[in-house]
């Protein structure tokens, strides 16, 4: 089933003075069946290991360096220092001393940069257009050769870290992570992000701290580098020698202790008050290290079994009895190389919160059932392991191709963990050895006595009299009541029997036919059309995977006529998803997925995965659509309860996301607001939805797209069967022309300084956010806005984030609403209020104007060339290509060669035309169409409480919308362009 590494074999390379010795190793990778890359492993003279990947089809190059130093290496008195060092290495170096030169270079060459800090690693990564890889690597390597860390930069970047932390203050996952850490000991009991206080205010020499960690901990022998490009392996090997200048200090990597819990940290019940509505319970157990035993993967098989959703499994039982909405199981983010934490997290219904002891009892009963199988049913246990192996091999052999950026990033970190010969299979969690004794060893740890239970619910507020230091979380902690533990142990067998719990059966959706089609079509064609449906088709074997993508757009005029109908349509979709959870989980394990989403036009069904069993899943979902009137009152109540909480929790989103939402509502002509949904949801009863469903489907037009490895005849059959099923069940008619809605975009008035300001609901979030939205118009304006974003994004980031220190989140980017492109300046700040950051966003336009006026013809041509190069990037996965085509079909634009047309428009664009457009559309207050949206925190640190003299506040966004004209529809645009 596996073949060896294509191209050059793996080499271990050692250097002696200026002479390179090369010895070929017998050890080779196992690579996926669809992998056409060539790989080479190089060990430099400084003991740095490099994995070189030559991908002849790559149109972007990427590199990543993973340093085996993370937040566990923070000095005890400087929390967050490793994370802070990650930030500081981006500033400048001895070879490239101009601040931000690296990031500006990468951005100007069509690339992007980022980094992250985890418990034991810091991972730096970038991508860039291939021809600039060598120059980019030279700049990147300076991070680790001779970085310049200025005192001024330290003070400024500490504020960026502080802003990053404050962005997370209202995040329940961050709050919960810190509570888990709090109830542990040693290295684990740390605050890893850092803030201005820990990094600067409480430190005598902040810069010396950063330099000290760098010099004491960063060493070539602790670094793994991955480079991906279309260059040959020999070229990549020559390029990677730039890293030989990194000093090798022969440091030993940190070895975290195996026991990070004291006796008082086990058998505990933590309760805390979350930000969002809803209830969750999470149970964690400390157990043996999955990293140390990765070849056998004991936690992987347990995650598979405890997280299963088929009938008789834990989640199916909890859902059937109205106790839970979702369940996840697997290794927790608190794990380290020395020890793992296994987690089971359950989203509870209101009834589940009231019966939490029963919920946990059923969890321990399921664990006992798995323990029984691995102890007394060896054949059944081996069957489960083999199925898990079979599914993992499917994922491995027919994996979707990752972007070079993602591939380099993940592999560089994986090289720190896995043996090279196991590297590729291990990142897809392919178990390599069957070890039931290790599974039992983990199960021995998964007991009530060793459990650490965390309950999150606003209902426990009165009991939470403690306050966590870093996130301000109100919580309580106590030992798990002995009566609970005794009850769980005594009732396990009876719960298994009475609730009919059992181990999953064999998965019937695992594919067996991997035959590939031969024909490849450039663009979709119509293969079937009548008054009730239109079906598009495109066969595509170029990705060499036996997979297909299917879209079915059900255009339902009744779905969005009012907030009430839109809410009931949402409920209908959620009811279907609820009914299908058992089969959808098995399908997902077997590489088949589906999703349902509501739009302003109706419902979109999306299917993806192996073609072999796709029709089974499609028919199952369509049958659920036909059975909407057969739901129970209880399930309806649970789904409605869940939807209400989703509506209520919108206010807890990050403020910058809320500004995007408010902007969408303002500029999409036909879009209701969440407040409208909240106002009607309580009025909706079971009988109302029951009566609404036939009306919803009384008029329907289906538009479909099938791409990939399904034969044309199968696609015709699917669309015909879908039409017949809906018609036979609901007596559906085709819509008349007047019922077909073409989405429109509100036209922003030229020269009008209008501001839509919203005071955030009382959440305690200190962050404010703004958007300055500049509206384009004619199709050609889209490419000019894209070019402007490409040219200006790095300057915007540098001036607004690095120099002005407005906040951690800064974007200068394009944004498409329906088919109209806009340019956005988006900023979120915990330090300043919305009015102030809005004024700074507009002030940046002067800097932008000066930069554009000083731009040479060569600079302009270079920027155009880099944007064109980016547009020539080919989709890496079938799903990407299908999504591009579906966008054109759904928006009724049908410009399947959009990228080619944009490239042609860019190649003909002159600098004078571009500068004139920018002046008219962005810089001139009298001609630009600008809408500013502001979310003002009710907990701002530095409120200005001043409105600009020239701004006009929008009091009612819907009243404002009704007074605006509308931009032409996409159909009108197409007529004009033709």
d(CA 333, CA 344): 12
99 belongs to the catalytic site: no
- Do 127 and 60 touch, CB atoms closer than 8 A? yes
Q: Would you call 387 helix, strand, or coil by DSSP? A: helix
Q: Encoding tokens for residue 605?
A: 């069904």
Q: What is the largest CA-CA distance in the chain?
A: 83
d(CA 313, CA 300): 17
Single out the catalytic residue among 23, 131, 134, 157: 157
Among 892, 872, 870, which Cα is nearest to 971's?
A: 892
Q: Would you call 528 helix, strand, or coil by DSSP? A: strand
Give the bridge partners for 346, in sequence order: 281, 327
Among 648, 682, 684, 178, which Cα is nearest to 458's?
A: 648
Single out the catalytic residue among 24, 36, 76, 86: 86
d(CA 290, CA 432): 13
- Do 751 and 930 touch, CB atoms closer than 8 A? no
- Do 739 and 701 touch, CB atoms closer than 8 A? no
d(CA 394, CA 404): 22
DSSP string of 301-345? HHHHHHT--STTSHHHHHHHTT-EEEEEEEE-TT--SS-EEEEEE
- Do 820 and 967 touch, CB atoms closer than 8 A? yes
- Do 684 and 564 touch, CB atoms closer than 8 A? yes
Residues ≥6 apart with Cβ < 8 Å to 786? 814, 821, 867, 902
Q: Encoding tokens for residue 165?
A: 């932390």
- Do 323 and 348 touch, CB atoms closer than 8 A? yes
d(CA 329, CA 281): 12
Beta-carbon neighbour count of residue 738 at 10 Å? 7
Q: Encoding tokens for residue 634?
A: 């209880």
Q: Would you call 299 helix, strand, or coil by DSSP? A: helix
State the number of CA atoms in the 13 A half-sphere of 169 facing the CB: 21
Residues recorded for the chain: 978
- How big is the chain by its Cα radius of gyration, in Å? 29
Among 37, 51, 229, which Cα is nearest to 135's?
A: 229
Among 711, 704, 715, 714, which Cα is nearest to 519's?
A: 711
Q: Encoding tokens for residue 664?
A: 């969408």
d(CA 678, CA 314): 32
d(CA 348, CA 114): 36
For residue 355, what is the DSSP state? T
Q: Encoding tokens for residue 951?
A: 């701004």
d(CA 251, CA 249): 5
Give the bridge partners for 555, in sequence order: 602, 701
Q: What separation in angstroms does the CA of 932 have from each of 571, 655, 824?
A: 33, 14, 10
DSSP string of 464-512? --EE-TTT--EEEEEEPPHHHHHHHHHHHHHHHHHTT-------TT---
Residues ≥6 apart with Cβ < 8 Å to 963? none
946 belongs to the catalytic site: no
For residue 736, what is the DSSP state? P
Tell me the catalytic residues. 86, 157
């Amino acid at each position: 089933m596996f073949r060896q590494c294509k191209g050059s074999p793996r080499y271990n390379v050692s250097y002696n003075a200026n002479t390179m010795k090369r010895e070929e190793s017998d050890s080779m990778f196992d690579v996926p069946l669809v992998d056409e890359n060539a790989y080479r492993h190089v060990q430099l003279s400084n003991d740095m290991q490099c994995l070189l990947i030559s991908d002849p089809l790559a149109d972007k190059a990427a590199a990543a360096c993973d340093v085996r130093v993370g937040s566990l290496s923070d000095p005890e008195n400087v929390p967050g220092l490793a994370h802070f060092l990650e930030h500081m290495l981006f500033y400048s170096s001895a070879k490239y001393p101009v601040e931000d030169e690296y990031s500006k270079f990468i951005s100007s060459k069509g690339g992007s940069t980022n980094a992250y800090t985890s418990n034991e690693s810091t991972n730096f990564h970038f991508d860039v257009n291939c021809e600039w890889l060598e120059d980019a690597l030279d700049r990147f390597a300076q991070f680790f050769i001779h970085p310049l860390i200025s005192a001024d930069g330290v003070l400024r970047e500490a504020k960026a870290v502080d802003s990053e932390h404050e962005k997370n203050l209202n995040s329940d996952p961050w709050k919960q992570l810190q509570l888990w850490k709090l109830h542990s000991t040693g290295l684990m009991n740390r605050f890893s992000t850092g803030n201005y206080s820990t990094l600067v205010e409480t430190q005598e020499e902040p810069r010396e701290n950063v330099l000290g960690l760098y010099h004491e901990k960063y060493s070539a022998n602790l670094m793994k580098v991955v480079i991906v490009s279309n260059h040959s392996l020999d070229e990549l090997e020559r390029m990677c020698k730039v890293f030989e200048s990194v000093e090798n200090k022969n440091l030993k990597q940190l070895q975290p202790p195996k026991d990070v819990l004291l006796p008082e940290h086990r058998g505990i019940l933590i309760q805390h008050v979350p930000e969002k509505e809803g209830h969750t319970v999470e149970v964690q157990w400390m157990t043996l290290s999955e990293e140390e035993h990765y070849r056998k993967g004991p936690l992987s098989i347990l995650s598979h079994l405890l997280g299963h959703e088929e009938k008789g499994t834990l989640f199916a039982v909890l859902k059937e009895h109205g106790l839970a909405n979702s369940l996840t199981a697997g290794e927790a983010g608190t794990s380290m190389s020395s020890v793992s934490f296994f987690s089971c997290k359950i989203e509870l219904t209101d009834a589940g919160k009231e019966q939490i002891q029963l919920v946990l009892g059923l969890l321990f009963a399921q664990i006992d059932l798995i323990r029984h199988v691995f102890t007394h049913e060896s054949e059944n246990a081996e069957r489960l392991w083999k199925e898990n192996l079979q599914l993992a091999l499917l994922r491995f052999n027919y994996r979707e191709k990752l972007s070079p950026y993602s591939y380099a990033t993940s592999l560089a970190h994986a090289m720190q963990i896995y043996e090279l010969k196991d590297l590729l299979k291990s990142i897809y969690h392919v178990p390599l050895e069957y070890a039931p004794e290790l599974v039992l060893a983990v199960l021995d740890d998964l007991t009530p006595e060793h459990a650490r239970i965390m309950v999150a619910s606003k209902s426990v507020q009165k009991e939470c009299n403690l306050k966590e230091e870093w996130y301000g979380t109100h919580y309580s902690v106590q030992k798990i009541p002995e009566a609970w533990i005794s009850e769980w142990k005594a009732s396990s067998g009876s719960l298994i029997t009475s609730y009919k719990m059992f181990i999953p059966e064999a998965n019937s959706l695992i594919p067996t036919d991997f035959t590939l089609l031969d024909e490849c079509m450039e663009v979709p064609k119509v293969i079937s059309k009548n008054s009730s449906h239109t079906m598009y088709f495109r066969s595509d074997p170029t990705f060499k995977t036996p997979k297909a993508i299917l879209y079915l757009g059900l255009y339902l005029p009744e779905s969005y006529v009012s907030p009430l109908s839109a809410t009931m349509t949402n409920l209908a979709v959620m009811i279907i998803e609820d009914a299908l959870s058992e089969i959808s989980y098995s399908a997902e394990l077997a590489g088949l997925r589906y999703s349902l989403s509501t739009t302003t036009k109706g419902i979109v069904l999306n299917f993806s995965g192996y073609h072999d069993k796709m029709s089974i899943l499609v028919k199952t979902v369509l049958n659920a659509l036909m059975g909407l009137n057969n739901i129970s009152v209880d399930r309806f109540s649970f789904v409605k309860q869940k939807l209400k909480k989703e509506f209520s929790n919108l206010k807890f989103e990050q403020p910058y996301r809320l500004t995007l939402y408010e902007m969408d509502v303002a500029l999409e002509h036909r879009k209701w607001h969440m407040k409208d949904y909240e106002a009607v949801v309580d009025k909706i009863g079971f009988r109302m939805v029951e009566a609404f469903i036939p009306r919803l489907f009384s008029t329907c037009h289906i538009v479909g797209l099938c791409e990939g490895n399904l034969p044309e005849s199968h696609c015709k059959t699917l669309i015909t069967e879908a039409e017949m099923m809906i018609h036979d069940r609901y007596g559906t008619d085709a819509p008349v022309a007047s019922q077909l809605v073409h989405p429109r975009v509100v036209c922003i008035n030229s020269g009008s300084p209008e501001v839509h300001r919203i005071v955030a609901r009382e959440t305690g979030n200190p962050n404010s956010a703004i958007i300055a939205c500049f509206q384009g118009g004619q199709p050609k304006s889209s490419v000019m806005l894209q070019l402007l974003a490409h040219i200006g994004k790095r300057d915007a980031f540098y001036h607004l984030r690095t120099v002005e220190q407005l906040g951690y989140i800064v974007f200068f980017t394009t944004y498409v609403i329906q088919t109209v492109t806009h340019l956005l300046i988006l900023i979120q700040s915990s330090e300043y209020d919305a009015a102030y950051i809005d004024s700074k966003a507009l002030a940046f336009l002067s800097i932008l104007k000066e930069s554009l006026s000083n731009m040479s013809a060569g600079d302009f041509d270079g920027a155009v060339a880099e944007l064109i190069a980016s547009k020539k990037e080919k989709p890496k996965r079938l799903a990407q290509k299908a999504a591009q085509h579906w966008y054109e079909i759904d928006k009724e634009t049908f410009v399947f060669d959009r990228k080619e047309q944009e490239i042609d428009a860019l190649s003909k664009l002159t600098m004078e035309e571009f500068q004139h457009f920018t002046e008219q559309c962005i810089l001139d207050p009298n001609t630009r169409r600008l809408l500013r949206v502001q979310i003002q925190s009710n907990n701002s640190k530095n409120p200005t409480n001043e409105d600009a003299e020239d701004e006009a506040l929008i009091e009612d966004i819907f009243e404002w919308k009704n007074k605006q004209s509308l931009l032409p529809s996409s159909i009108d645009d197409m007529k004009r362009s033709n």
